Structure 1
Amino acid sequence: MKSEHIPKATIKRLAMYVQVLETLKREGSQVVSSELLARTCSVNPSQIRKDLAYFGEFGVRGVGYHVQDLIYSIKHSLGVDRVWKCALVGVGNLGKALLRHQDFKFRGFDIVGAFDCDPFKIGEEISGLEVVCTRRLKDAVKELGIEIGLITTPVNRAQRAANFLIEAGVKGIINYSPAMLTVPADIYVEYVDFFHHFYSVAFSITLDRHQERLGSNDEADEDD
């Protein structure tokens, strides 16, 4: 790796490249050009080359990238060429949906523990996992080798869930709750807010309509 200071935007694009490459692999493609990969990912070919350059030299001039080799290289560089054990805290509707989502294991993130403090949920079985009391999280992290925690609790319980995960020894947290967490400097947190995407789409539609109205007004002025 050429630099430890890699922008988060680059990491997100690399994850997108892997998804596209895996689709191409399933479709039977063995080689892909930077132009095709860029067009599929809606980025410039130069951006792809720049992103990959953080991790070394890839591709063959005049040929392109070997799909399988590039998938392996990106996954290895990102540290996702192995299985990461995960724990989910908060077994509500969203938590249950994530536990039933098969893509986590397919992409190397195996949710091996489900935890909640609600006595009515403890003991329930979801996708082969028994919901366990959150107070048993520390033992489970040690026994199962859990490294990443997913928080899907209501907003008022998210910090408490984070505290349990941190005390248990988890170093990375994916927070699906809208709560902003207070964590030590050596704990990595990613926030997943579905409404960010709603806002982005709503803004794009609003902007298009605004520009259409401006265009209509300009045409009306010309007619006058």
Structure 2
Amino acid sequence: MATGRTHRPATRSRGIPEATVARLPLYLRALTALSERSVPTVSSEELAAAAGVNSAKLRKDFSYLGSYGTRGVGYDVEYLVYQISRELGLTQDWPVVIVGIGNLGAALANYGGFASRGFRVAALIDADPAMAGKPVAGIPVQHSDDLEKIIQDNGVSIGVIATPAGAAQAVCDRLVAAGVTSILNFAPTVLSVPDGVDVRKVDLSIELQILAFHEQRKAGEEAAASDGGVPAAAARSDSADQGPDGDMPAVMPA
């Protein structure tokens, strides 16, 4: 029987900061790669480099888990894999539904990494009657009219929305009403959810726009360097774009 509805990860009750929670999957990915190579221990510096963070931040993050490593030896790889998996709730079965089986939804259904990371695709759901019954990744697509029954029958608490933007909020509302409390949103829109429901948004266009911003800045810096100086307008722009602590604010589309 599915257990996703009744068991929740322990991170919030343990007071682990959200920023640390967001980095735990990075550590787990790096540790899993080490485990697959039969590496028994790893230093904080090596693991931090593999995860793309600094070692001081890694050691602080691990202190929230109660792991401090052994001086001169480092961290036990297998134990950390277990410990982080447990904190993330990955030592149990999490049934997931994917709503919207277009190109993106079908690609997600075919992704082989779900099962190895504690997630089971319990159902694929689409509003197109012509899709009903068609197998995608070996799973027959079910019509959205049955969404609530599918959620209840499978004990689903995590839903993935891969619909067009115009349909996403209505799908979200139905998922929440049926008992889903965590949503991964691939639709290019912001969802409104009640308290107690977690939403993670994946927007590829925003990520590409941020990369375009950095590419434009690098091109400007290279042009300035070739001219022997930084244009005044660019210098003013740099200063204006920085926050009170000198940090670069997130770039959002207009």
TM-score scaled by structure 2?
0.81
Deviations 1:115-167 (A, max 9, x none): 11111111111112111111212222222121100000000000111112112
> Residues 74-132 of structure 1, C-alpha deviation per residue, up to 9 Å, x if partnerless?
11112222121100111111000000111011111111101111111111111121111
Task: Tell me which amino acid in the other structure corresponds to 1:181.
Answer: L
Report the secondary structure of 1:35's partner residue. helix
- Matches of 2:211 and 2:179, distance apart in 1: 38
Mapping of residues 94-173 of structure 1, within 5 Å: 94-173=104-183
Match of 2:194 in 1: 184
Q: Unaligned stretches of 5+ in structure 2?
A: 1-10, 230-254
Q: Which residue of 1 aligns with 2:86?
A: 76
Q: How far does residue 3 in structure 1 lie from its aligned partner after superposition?
A: 6.8
Say which SS state the counterpart of residue 54 (structure 1) adopts.
helix
Q: Residue 37 of structure 1: CA displacement? A: 0.7
Find 1:196's aligned residue among 171, 192, 206: 206
1:201 deviation in Å?
2.1
Using structure 1 for the length normalisation, give the TM-score.
0.92
In 1: Cα distance, 2:109 partner to 2:12 partner: 36
Unaligned segments of structure 1, at least 5 residues: 220-224
In structure 2, how many angstroms separate the alpha carbons of the residues matched to 1:96 and 1:140? 18
Identity of aligned residues (%): 37
Task: Report the count of equivalent residues.
Answer: 219
Q: 1:23 to 1:117 in 2, by over 3 A?
A: same
Deviations 1:37-95 (A, max 9, x none): 11122211101011112222331122101111001111111222212110011111100
**Is 2:108 the partner of 1:90?**
no
Match of 1:47 in 2: 57
Q: 2-side partners of 1:124 and 1:59: how far apart?
A: 50
Match of 2:123, SS?
Answer: strand
Which residue does the alignment assign to 2:37? 27
Residue of structure 2 aligned with 1:38, choices 44, 48, 55: 48
- CA distance change for structure 1 residues 197 and 73 in 2, over 3 Å: closer, same or farther? same
Q: Provide, for residues 155-212 of structure 1, a one-character-per-residue CA deviation record: whole Å limited to 9, x for no partner.
A: 0000111112112111111010011112111111111111232123222222222111
The list of structure 1 runs, each at least 4 consecutive aligned residues, that deviate by more than 4 angstroms after superposition, is 1-5
The residue identity in structure 1 corresponding to 2:228 is D
Structure 1 CA distance for aligned equivalents of residues 14 and 99 of structure 2? 31
Pairwise CA RMSD of aligned residues? 1.7
